[in-house]
Amino acid sequence: MKFKNISGLITCMEEEEKKQQEGKEFLGSIIDMLAKLASDKMYGPLDVLATTPDISVALGSLYNAIRYAKSQGYTIPSEEEFNAFVAIAKKNPEVMREIAIKALIRAEKMKQPQQQTQQQSDRKESKQVG
């Protein structure tokens, strides 16, 4: 692609960056769902996403993740969000590993407030007993 001037190139780059950012926003609900699974110590779908370059294998794993999430009453991605994931992953399979890593990080952040609440509860109980 040739550009007549630098501003044309910059505009094109800005548009491409905006498209990528919009796509990543759709992936947030998928990451949230996978993080919830990881907080339940269900790492299988994340392991597959992190290690396979094959989109069909990743989709099978994502199917299992959505099925489990739905059975637990967790929020699942919309069809539109799923379609965005597929489109992005087909263009760049490496994004699947990025999603798995982000889900693990988010899962740890989900645990921290729960741990702090439990510690505070334990302290209150020990003060009442003592």
What tens digit of pLDDT does each residue of 71-122 get?
A: 999 999 999 999 999 999 999 999 999 999 999 999 998 876 555 555 555 5
Nearest CA among 22, 21, 53, 47 for reference residue 34: 47
pLDDT value of position 97 = 94
Sketch out the chain's domains with CATH numbers.
17-129 (1.20.120)
**Residue 49 near residue 120 (C-beta atoms within 8 A):** no
The whole model's pTM is what? 0.68
Single-letter amino acid, residue 9? L
What tens digit of pLDDT does each residue of 17-65 get?
A: 666 555 455 689 999 999 999 999 999 999 999 999 999 999 999 999 9
